[in-house]
Amino acid sequence: MTILIDPPAWPAHGTVFSHLVSDTSLIELRTFARGAGVPDRAFDLDHYDIAAFRHDDLVAAGAVPVEGGELARRLLASGLRVRGGERAGSKREALLARWDALRPTPSGAWHTVGVALDARWREPHRAYHTAFHLAFALDALDLLLADAAVRGEPVPGPLAWRARVALWFHDAVHDGATPADEEASAALVHDLLGPLGGDPDEIARLVLVTAGHAPDPDDLAGCLVSDADLAILGSGSGDYVRYAHQVRAEYAHVPDALFRQGRARVLESLLATDDLFRTPWGRTRWQARAATNLATELTTLTP
Protein backbone atom coordinates (compact mmCIF):
# COMPACT_ATOMS: atom_id res chain seq x y z
CA MET A 1 0.00 0.00 0.00
CA THR A 2 1.24 3.45 -0.93
CA ILE A 3 -0.25 6.82 -0.07
CA LEU A 4 0.30 9.25 -2.93
CA ILE A 5 0.05 13.03 -3.15
CA ASP A 6 0.36 15.24 -6.22
CA PRO A 7 1.64 18.85 -6.34
CA PRO A 8 -0.74 21.61 -5.23
CA ALA A 9 -2.30 22.77 -8.48
CA TRP A 10 -6.09 22.76 -8.12
CA PRO A 11 -7.45 26.24 -7.27
CA ALA A 12 -10.27 26.68 -4.76
CA HIS A 13 -11.11 28.84 -1.74
CA GLY A 14 -8.24 31.25 -2.33
CA THR A 15 -5.49 28.62 -2.43
CA VAL A 16 -4.49 25.53 -4.41
CA PHE A 17 -5.01 21.92 -3.48
CA SER A 18 -3.32 18.55 -3.84
CA HIS A 19 -5.00 15.15 -4.01
CA LEU A 20 -4.18 12.48 -1.45
CA VAL A 21 -5.00 8.92 -2.55
CA SER A 22 -4.19 5.29 -1.85
CA ASP A 23 -3.22 2.93 -4.63
CA THR A 24 -4.73 0.00 -2.73
CA SER A 25 -7.18 0.69 0.08
CA LEU A 26 -9.62 3.33 1.29
CA ILE A 27 -9.29 2.14 4.89
CA GLU A 28 -5.54 2.71 4.74
CA LEU A 29 -6.14 6.12 3.18
CA ARG A 30 -8.60 7.13 5.90
CA THR A 31 -6.32 5.78 8.64
CA PHE A 32 -3.34 7.71 7.27
CA ALA A 33 -5.36 10.91 6.87
CA ARG A 34 -6.79 10.77 10.38
CA GLY A 35 -3.36 10.00 11.82
CA ALA A 36 -1.97 13.06 10.05
CA GLY A 37 -4.76 15.31 11.29
CA VAL A 38 -6.58 15.65 7.95
CA PRO A 39 -10.29 16.16 8.73
CA ASP A 40 -12.89 13.78 7.33
CA ARG A 41 -14.59 16.71 5.59
CA ALA A 42 -11.65 16.79 3.14
CA PHE A 43 -12.61 13.33 1.83
CA ASP A 44 -14.26 13.29 -1.61
CA LEU A 45 -15.32 9.74 -2.56
CA ASP A 46 -11.88 8.44 -3.59
CA HIS A 47 -9.40 11.09 -2.42
CA TYR A 48 -8.74 13.85 0.09
CA ASP A 49 -8.40 17.47 -1.01
CA ILE A 50 -5.27 18.84 0.67
CA ALA A 51 -4.56 22.57 0.94
CA ALA A 52 -1.12 23.59 -0.28
CA PHE A 53 0.20 24.43 3.19
CA ARG A 54 -0.26 20.78 4.26
CA HIS A 55 1.54 19.20 1.31
CA ASP A 56 5.02 19.03 2.81
CA ASP A 57 3.67 17.89 6.20
CA LEU A 58 2.00 14.90 4.60
CA VAL A 59 5.09 14.01 2.59
CA ALA A 60 7.04 14.05 5.86
CA ALA A 61 4.35 11.78 7.37
CA GLY A 62 4.90 9.21 4.62
CA ALA A 63 2.89 10.25 1.55
CA VAL A 64 4.84 9.71 -1.68
CA PRO A 65 4.94 12.79 -3.94
CA VAL A 66 4.11 12.05 -7.58
CA GLU A 67 3.00 14.07 -10.57
CA GLY A 68 -0.70 14.47 -11.20
CA GLY A 69 -0.76 12.13 -14.18
CA GLU A 70 0.96 9.36 -12.23
CA LEU A 71 -1.45 9.79 -9.31
CA ALA A 72 -4.44 9.56 -11.65
CA ARG A 73 -3.07 6.39 -13.30
CA ARG A 74 -2.37 4.72 -9.97
CA LEU A 75 -5.81 5.61 -8.62
CA LEU A 76 -7.48 4.23 -11.74
CA ALA A 77 -5.46 1.00 -11.51
CA SER A 78 -6.45 0.61 -7.84
CA GLY A 79 -10.13 0.21 -8.73
CA LEU A 80 -11.06 2.88 -6.17
CA ARG A 81 -11.61 5.73 -8.60
CA VAL A 82 -15.08 7.25 -8.90
CA ARG A 83 -15.58 8.16 -12.53
CA GLY A 84 -16.54 11.63 -13.67
CA GLY A 85 -19.96 10.61 -14.93
CA GLU A 86 -20.74 8.97 -11.59
CA ARG A 87 -19.62 12.08 -9.73
CA ALA A 88 -21.88 14.26 -11.85
CA GLY A 89 -25.00 12.43 -10.72
CA SER A 90 -24.17 12.88 -7.06
CA LYS A 91 -23.38 16.58 -7.24
CA ARG A 92 -25.57 18.80 -5.06
CA GLU A 93 -27.14 20.60 -8.01
CA ALA A 94 -28.02 17.35 -9.80
CA LEU A 95 -29.56 15.73 -6.74
CA LEU A 96 -31.52 18.81 -5.72
CA ALA A 97 -32.93 19.04 -9.25
CA ARG A 98 -34.22 15.48 -8.84
CA TRP A 99 -35.70 16.34 -5.45
CA ASP A 100 -37.41 19.49 -6.74
CA ALA A 101 -38.86 17.51 -9.64
CA LEU A 102 -40.77 15.38 -7.14
CA ARG A 103 -42.93 18.41 -6.38
CA PRO A 104 -45.26 19.15 -9.30
CA THR A 105 -45.43 22.83 -8.41
CA PRO A 106 -42.54 24.98 -7.15
CA SER A 107 -42.28 25.14 -3.36
CA GLY A 108 -39.65 26.91 -1.32
CA ALA A 109 -40.46 24.75 1.70
CA TRP A 110 -40.07 21.56 -0.35
CA HIS A 111 -36.70 22.75 -1.69
CA THR A 112 -35.55 23.57 1.85
CA VAL A 113 -36.25 19.98 2.93
CA GLY A 114 -34.18 18.75 -0.02
CA VAL A 115 -31.28 20.98 0.98
CA ALA A 116 -31.43 19.63 4.54
CA LEU A 117 -31.46 16.03 3.31
CA ASP A 118 -28.63 16.62 0.85
CA ALA A 119 -26.49 18.04 3.66
CA ARG A 120 -27.04 14.89 5.71
CA TRP A 121 -25.90 12.66 2.85
CA ARG A 122 -22.67 14.69 2.70
CA GLU A 123 -21.73 14.34 6.38
CA PRO A 124 -17.94 13.93 6.59
CA HIS A 125 -17.88 10.66 8.53
CA ARG A 126 -19.56 8.80 5.66
CA ALA A 127 -17.61 6.84 3.07
CA TYR A 128 -20.28 4.60 1.53
CA HIS A 129 -23.65 5.99 2.68
CA THR A 130 -22.99 9.21 0.82
CA ALA A 131 -24.73 11.29 -1.82
CA PHE A 132 -23.12 8.87 -4.27
CA HIS A 133 -25.13 5.99 -2.76
CA LEU A 134 -28.30 8.07 -2.85
CA ALA A 135 -27.83 8.82 -6.56
CA PHE A 136 -27.05 5.15 -7.25
CA ALA A 137 -30.19 3.99 -5.43
CA LEU A 138 -32.37 6.52 -7.26
CA ASP A 139 -30.92 5.37 -10.59
CA ALA A 140 -31.55 1.74 -9.61
CA LEU A 141 -35.18 2.56 -8.83
CA ASP A 142 -35.53 4.19 -12.25
CA LEU A 143 -34.20 0.98 -13.84
CA LEU A 144 -36.75 -1.12 -11.96
CA LEU A 145 -39.60 1.17 -12.98
CA ALA A 146 -38.44 1.08 -16.61
CA ASP A 147 -38.21 -2.73 -16.55
CA ALA A 148 -41.72 -2.93 -15.13
CA ALA A 149 -43.06 -0.70 -17.90
CA VAL A 150 -41.30 -2.73 -20.61
CA ARG A 151 -42.92 -5.89 -19.27
CA GLY A 152 -46.32 -4.27 -19.40
CA GLU A 153 -46.56 -3.93 -15.60
CA PRO A 154 -46.14 -0.19 -15.04
CA VAL A 155 -45.91 0.94 -11.43
CA PRO A 156 -48.60 3.48 -10.46
CA GLY A 157 -47.25 7.01 -10.29
CA PRO A 158 -48.14 7.72 -6.64
CA LEU A 159 -46.48 4.50 -5.51
CA ALA A 160 -43.31 5.27 -7.49
CA TRP A 161 -43.31 8.78 -6.00
CA ARG A 162 -43.42 7.45 -2.44
CA ALA A 163 -40.59 5.02 -3.21
CA ARG A 164 -38.41 7.84 -4.54
CA VAL A 165 -39.04 10.06 -1.53
CA ALA A 166 -38.38 7.14 0.83
CA LEU A 167 -34.96 6.61 -0.76
CA TRP A 168 -34.07 10.24 -0.02
CA PHE A 169 -34.79 9.59 3.65
CA HIS A 170 -33.65 5.97 4.06
CA ASP A 171 -30.09 6.71 5.26
CA ALA A 172 -30.53 10.38 6.10
CA VAL A 173 -29.45 9.45 9.62
CA HIS A 174 -26.41 7.18 9.54
CA ASP A 175 -24.25 6.41 12.56
CA GLY A 176 -23.62 2.77 11.70
CA ALA A 177 -26.28 1.23 13.96
CA THR A 178 -29.18 -0.86 12.63
CA PRO A 179 -32.12 -0.50 13.22
CA ALA A 180 -31.51 2.70 15.20
CA ASP A 181 -30.42 4.58 12.07
CA GLU A 182 -33.50 3.54 10.13
CA GLU A 183 -35.78 4.40 13.04
CA ALA A 184 -34.21 7.85 13.34
CA SER A 185 -34.46 8.35 9.58
CA ALA A 186 -38.15 7.40 9.70
CA ALA A 187 -38.70 9.89 12.51
CA LEU A 188 -37.02 12.51 10.34
CA VAL A 189 -39.73 11.95 7.71
CA HIS A 190 -42.32 13.22 10.17
CA ASP A 191 -40.11 16.13 11.27
CA LEU A 192 -39.30 17.40 7.78
CA LEU A 193 -42.09 16.12 5.56
CA GLY A 194 -44.98 16.05 8.00
CA PRO A 195 -45.71 19.79 7.75
CA LEU A 196 -45.78 19.53 3.94
CA GLY A 197 -48.12 16.55 3.62
CA GLY A 198 -47.33 13.82 1.13
CA ASP A 199 -48.20 10.73 3.18
CA PRO A 200 -45.36 10.84 5.75
CA ASP A 201 -46.67 7.75 7.58
CA GLU A 202 -46.30 5.60 4.47
CA ILE A 203 -42.91 7.03 3.57
CA ALA A 204 -41.65 6.47 7.12
CA ARG A 205 -42.85 2.87 6.87
CA LEU A 206 -40.90 2.41 3.64
CA VAL A 207 -37.77 3.79 5.28
CA LEU A 208 -38.09 1.15 8.02
CA VAL A 209 -38.19 -1.57 5.34
CA THR A 210 -34.50 -0.90 4.69
CA ALA A 211 -33.57 -2.06 8.19
CA GLY A 212 -34.24 -5.70 7.35
CA HIS A 213 -34.90 -5.71 3.59
CA ALA A 214 -37.75 -8.19 4.08
CA PRO A 215 -40.91 -6.50 2.77
CA ASP A 216 -44.04 -8.55 2.25
CA PRO A 217 -44.22 -9.82 -1.36
CA ASP A 218 -47.46 -7.86 -1.81
CA ASP A 219 -45.79 -4.63 -0.65
CA LEU A 220 -44.68 -3.37 -4.06
CA ALA A 221 -43.42 -0.02 -2.79
CA GLY A 222 -41.43 -1.71 -0.04
CA CYS A 223 -39.99 -4.23 -2.51
CA LEU A 224 -38.91 -1.43 -4.85
CA VAL A 225 -37.20 0.53 -2.08
CA SER A 226 -35.46 -2.57 -0.74
CA ASP A 227 -34.23 -3.65 -4.17
CA ALA A 228 -32.96 -0.17 -5.07
CA ASP A 229 -31.06 0.05 -1.77
CA LEU A 230 -29.41 -3.34 -2.37
CA ALA A 231 -28.75 -2.86 -6.09
CA ILE A 232 -25.03 -2.23 -5.47
CA LEU A 233 -24.70 -5.89 -4.48
CA GLY A 234 -25.50 -6.87 -8.06
CA SER A 235 -23.17 -4.36 -9.71
CA GLY A 236 -20.18 -5.24 -11.86
CA SER A 237 -17.29 -6.83 -9.99
CA GLY A 238 -15.14 -3.68 -10.12
CA ASP A 239 -17.89 -1.46 -8.72
CA TYR A 240 -18.66 -4.05 -6.05
CA VAL A 241 -15.03 -4.18 -4.90
CA ARG A 242 -14.99 -0.38 -4.65
CA TYR A 243 -18.22 -0.56 -2.60
CA ALA A 244 -16.60 -3.06 -0.21
CA HIS A 245 -13.66 -0.68 0.26
CA GLN A 246 -16.08 2.18 0.97
CA VAL A 247 -17.90 0.14 3.61
CA ARG A 248 -14.63 -0.77 5.32
CA ALA A 249 -13.51 2.87 5.33
CA GLU A 250 -16.81 3.95 6.86
CA TYR A 251 -16.10 1.64 9.79
CA ALA A 252 -12.48 2.70 10.14
CA HIS A 253 -12.93 2.90 13.92
CA VAL A 254 -13.63 -0.85 14.11
CA PRO A 255 -10.53 -3.08 14.52
CA ASP A 256 -9.86 -5.23 11.49
CA ALA A 257 -10.49 -8.61 13.17
CA LEU A 258 -13.84 -7.47 14.54
CA PHE A 259 -14.85 -5.93 11.23
CA ARG A 260 -14.03 -9.14 9.37
CA GLN A 261 -16.14 -11.18 11.76
CA GLY A 262 -19.10 -8.82 11.59
CA ARG A 263 -18.91 -8.33 7.84
CA ALA A 264 -18.66 -12.10 7.27
CA ARG A 265 -21.85 -12.61 9.28
CA VAL A 266 -23.63 -10.00 7.17
CA LEU A 267 -22.49 -11.62 3.93
CA GLU A 268 -23.46 -15.10 5.10
CA SER A 269 -26.91 -13.83 6.01
CA LEU A 270 -27.34 -12.21 2.61
CA LEU A 271 -26.16 -15.33 0.79
CA ALA A 272 -28.65 -17.44 2.75
CA THR A 273 -31.52 -15.25 1.52
CA ASP A 274 -33.03 -16.86 -1.58
CA ASP A 275 -35.17 -13.82 -2.35
CA LEU A 276 -32.58 -11.12 -1.71
CA PHE A 277 -34.27 -9.02 -4.41
CA ARG A 278 -38.03 -8.85 -3.94
CA THR A 279 -39.23 -7.62 -7.31
CA PRO A 280 -39.08 -9.84 -10.41
CA TRP A 281 -37.16 -7.07 -12.18
CA GLY A 282 -34.59 -6.84 -9.39
CA ARG A 283 -34.10 -10.61 -9.37
CA THR A 284 -33.55 -10.67 -13.11
CA ARG A 285 -31.13 -7.76 -13.05
CA TRP A 286 -29.07 -8.39 -9.94
CA GLN A 287 -29.65 -11.69 -8.12
CA ALA A 288 -27.10 -13.94 -9.87
CA ARG A 289 -24.36 -11.32 -9.92
CA ALA A 290 -25.01 -10.43 -6.27
CA ALA A 291 -24.56 -14.05 -5.23
CA THR A 292 -21.18 -14.15 -7.01
CA ASN A 293 -20.05 -10.83 -5.54
CA LEU A 294 -21.05 -11.74 -1.99
CA ALA A 295 -19.41 -15.16 -2.14
CA THR A 296 -16.22 -13.68 -3.57
CA GLU A 297 -15.98 -11.04 -0.86
CA LEU A 298 -16.64 -13.66 1.81
CA THR A 299 -13.55 -15.59 0.71
CA THR A 300 -11.45 -12.52 1.48
CA LEU A 301 -12.77 -12.31 5.04
CA THR A 302 -12.62 -15.92 6.22
CA PRO A 303 -9.85 -18.55 6.20
> Which pLDDT tens digit goes with each residue over 182-207?
999 999 999 999 888 778 999 999 99
Residue 223, pLDDT above cutoff 90: yes
**Average confidence (pLDDT) over 50-63:** 97
What local confidence, expressed as pLDDT, does residue 104 receive?
73
Q: What is the mean pLDDT of residues 228-237?
A: 97
| Rounded Cα distance, 196 and 109, in Å | 8
268 phi, psi to nearest 5 deg: -60, -40
Give 91-133 pLDDT, tens digit per residue.
999 999 999 999 877 689 999 999 999 999 999 999 999 999 9
Supply the pLDDT for residue 299. 95
Look at residue 303 in the predicted model and tell me its pLDDT. 66
CATH of domain 87-301: 1.10.1300.10
Is the model's pLDDT at 274 over the cut of 90?
no
Average pLDDT, the chain: 95
| Cβ proximity of 164 and 102 under 8 Å | yes
Question: So where are the chain's domains?
Answer: 3-81, 87-301
pLDDT recorded at residue 178: 86
Q: Is residue 290 pLDDT above 80, yes or no?
A: yes
pLDDT at 258: 95
C-alpha to C-alpha distances, 7 to 4, 21, 59, 152, nearest whole angstrom = 10, 13, 11, 55
Phi, psi of 170 (to 5 degrees): -65, -30
